[in-house]
């Protein structure tokens, strides 16, 4: 392969959902609603945790606030470009923009995987070692674990990006998805990518699958160690929201990354699930099943309404 040929492709075309303007207009409204809901829900959780003394001092809610921030970042990596493409027939993305999007997608996504694992450990300590919970899950340890999650995501994403940018792109340039991700991008390379695919599947697939196994094992251990039926029901109530989030996030990720990079017709829908729907649903899952968060939100609302009424008078 001539070296000059590796620089031929300077733009990629993202394959959207439809070429019919009326359908794309409807999808624009729908996904804009999803994105705005993601912002409102996650910002509300972050503000609630930060403004409530009890929640702010609790390790679980400190981690929940960080999860909401990651959800915002994760959704923002792909959704604004998707919304712009609904209004643009070309759906072009420059090569360098594609690589940047790919990097931050895996950076934030992997960081969220690690943080969910940390949250499972937090629940394990809270339920199985309640007397030592505040000692073990100190604010210092929580900060270290959050920083480690971000660092793990950065290292994972760096590996994925380095393997991608060294591939030559000199032929087809249509990415078979609505954003740049490793599987559809490396399919366009003008080279044998078998070894690269194995390395990437070993990286992304191993992280998503092993994290999911650790999470499920953690929650299973919690249930096994609790002898009473009442205790198990309480544990299920406490961990139920976490299990829902874990299933919604890890299921699609394992489906996409823990298999060879072949394309299935459902890949776009699966990508919508873990890129757009899950970050929007996480605030609902945690607040609807959590009396403490709902109570803190009500106090925050009442306090703001009272302040507004005082200003009016």
- Residue 64 pLDDT more than 80? yes
SS (H, E, C) 265-296: CCHHHHHHHHHHHHHHHHHHHHHHCCHHHHHH
pTM of the entire predicted model: 0.87
Classify residue 276 by burial, with Cβ atoms within 10 Å: 0-12, 13-18, 19+: buried
Instruction: Please tell me the distance from the alpha carbon of residue 239 to that of residue 105, in angstroms, as a whole number.
Output: 27
- Residue 233 pLDDT more than 80? no
Dmax (CA) for the chain in angstroms is 76
**Residue 262 is inside which H or E element, if any?**
none
* Domain membership flag for residue 2: no
- Residue 3 pLDDT more than 50? no
* Domain membership flag for residue 237: yes
pLDDT tens-digit readout, 258-301: 877 666 667 788 888 889 999 998 888 877 667 777 777 777 66
| Cβ(296)–Cβ(55) below 8 Å | yes
* Domain membership flag for residue 3: no
* Domain membership flag for residue 51: yes
Q: What was the pLDDT predicted at 88?
A: 82
| Cβ(293)–Cβ(48) below 8 Å | yes
* Domain membership flag for residue 47: yes
* Domain membership flag for residue 9: no
Q: What was the pLDDT predicted at 263?
A: 63
Q: What are phi and psi of 93, to 5 degrees?
A: -140, 130
Place of tokens 């080279």: 191
E strands along the chain, which residues? Answer: 11-14, 92-94, 174-175
- Residue 36 pLDDT more than 90? yes
What is the residue range of 173's domain?
Answer: 22-300
| Least confident stretch, 65-69, 189-193, 209-213 | 189-193
Q: What percent of the chain has pLDDT over 90?
A: 32
pLDDT-derived band of residue 1, with 50, 70 and 90 as boundaries? Answer: very low
**Tokens at residue 201, please?**
């599947």
Here the CATH number for the domain that contains residue 267 is: 1.20.1070.10
Domain count, the chain: 1
* Domain membership flag for residue 313: no
CA distances from residue 313 to 279, 299, 304, 309 in whole angstroms, order as listed: 39, 21, 14, 6
pLDDT tens-digit readout, 148-204: 999 999 999 999 999 899 888 887 888 888 999 988 898 888 888 888 888 888 888
* Domain membership flag for residue 292: yes
């Amino acid at each position: 392969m001539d070296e000059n040929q590796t620089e031929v492709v300077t733009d990629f075309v993202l394959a959207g959902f439809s070429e019919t303007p009326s359908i794309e207009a409807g999808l624009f409204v729908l996904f804009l609603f999803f994105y705005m809901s993601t912002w409102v829900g996650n910002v509300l959780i972050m503000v609630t945790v930060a403004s409530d003394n009890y929640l702010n001092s609790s390790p679980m809610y400190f981690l929940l606030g960080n999860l909401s921030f990651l959800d915002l970042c994760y959704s923002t990596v792909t959704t604004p470009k998707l919304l712009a493409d609904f209004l643009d027939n070309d759906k072009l993305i420059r090569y360098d923009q594609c690589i940047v999007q790919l990097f931050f997608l895996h950076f934030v996504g992997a960081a969220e995987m690690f943080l969910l694992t940390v949250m499972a450990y937090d629940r394990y300590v809270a339920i199985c070692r309640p007397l030592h919970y505040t000692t073990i899950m100190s604010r210092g340890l929580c900060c270290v674990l959050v920083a480690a999650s971000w660092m793990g995501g950065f290292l994972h994403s760096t590996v994925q990006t380095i393997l991608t940018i060294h591939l030559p792109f000199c032929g087809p340039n249509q990415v078979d998805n609505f954003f740049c991700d490793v599987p559809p991008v490396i399919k366009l390379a003008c080279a044998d990518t078998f070894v690269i695919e194995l390395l990437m599947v070993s990286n992304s697939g191993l992280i998503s699958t092993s994290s999911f196994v650790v999470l499920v094992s953690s929650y299973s251990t919690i249930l096994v160690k609790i002898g009473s039926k009442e205790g198990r029901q309480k544990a299920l109530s406490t961990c139920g929201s976490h299990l829902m989030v874990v299933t919604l996030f890890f299921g699609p990720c394992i489906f996409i990354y823990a298999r060879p990079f072949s394309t299935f017709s459902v890949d776009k829908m699966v990508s919508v699930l873990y890129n757009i729907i899950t970050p929007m649903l996480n605030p609902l899952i945690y607040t609807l099943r959590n009396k403490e968060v709902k109570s803190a939100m009500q106090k925050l609302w009442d306090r703001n309404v009272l302040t507004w009424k005082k200003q009016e008078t």
